[in-house]
Chain A
């Protein structure tokens, strides 16, 4: 079982307590009604689905119930780091060669 560090509980907890909540850092337009169909499609449906490092939202559903962000490698399934919701994308990832 994977252990995922919850930034709110400040410790590693079993994966069964967590839910994935899709890709992170997708900003909703402030003027949603003025969006063109193409832009809305990009915002609403199109995800990067990379092979490698991805920034995701996760929720500690059966714990503190908070959403947070995680950096995960989709190839190895390894969680590289997690950080609180609202914080900017980390510029440096621990243990990852640029």
Chain B
């Protein structure tokens, strides 16, 4: 028995500790809002000139939006406009957008940032009020319709905000800021409920 265990230990070259996503499973609920950490997703930061956009859209299977503050979504993959030549691509279906870009010969820069970001979902009637606790943007449906996205700030940190539905937002923040962002949103959700 001891012999078998020792043998097993020597052959096991896999890491002894599995990946632990930041804040995994954390969730908080206020009367009108639910704040929860979303499961890990594949993400890339994509920079490309105008001439490469068509080829990249084809490879990614989602048309990269060209209008400011808009996003496009298809089959679990979302492309968010961040700047005139910059997009954040999030894949929640488990496919790697980085691999899809690798075959594109048109000039572009794709950087895998799956582990850099943590996503937090803010849902419920008070979702906009919760985010507005620390975000100075106008989140009314006129100014920030469903599908709108923007890099902005929340309290002291930078976030990327995406509106999935009238009362649902996805907040993307850097991993090391995620504890602050989650706590900030939890406090905000309490205020939003009042």
Contact = CB atoms under 8 A, between A and B. Distances in A.
B152 A17 contact: yes
B151 interface: yes
A72 interface: no
Interface in B111-133: none
Interface residues of A, number: 14
B150 A63 contact: yes
B136 A64 contact: no
Given A10-B68, A11-B69, A64 B137 contact: no
A10 B143 CA distance: 12
Contacts of B152: 17, 62-63
Interface string A51-63: 0000000000011
Secondary structure of the A side of the interface? loop
A13 B150 CA distance: 11
Interface residues of B, number: 13
Contacts of A13: 137
A8 B84 contact: yes
Contacts of A9: 68-69, 150
Nearest to B81: A64
A11 B136 contact: no
B137 A66 contact: no
A97 B86 CA distance: 39
Nearest to B150: A63
Nearest to B84: A8
A62 B153 contact: yes
B147 to A, nearest CB: 16
A4 B178 CA distance: 28
A65 interface: yes
Contacts of B82: 64-65
Contacts of A66: 83-84
11 contacts: A8-B83, A9-B69, A9-B150, A11-B69, A16-B136, A16-B153, A17-B152, A62-B152, A64-B84, A64-B151, A65-B151
Given A14-B137, A17-B152, A63-B152, 16 more contacts: A8-B68, A9-B68, A10-B68, A11-B68, A13-B137, A16-B136, A17-B136, A62-B151, A62-B152, A63-B83, A63-B150, A63-B151, A64-B68, A64-B82, A64-B84, A66-B83
Interface of B: 68-69, 82-84, 86, 136-137, 150-153, 158
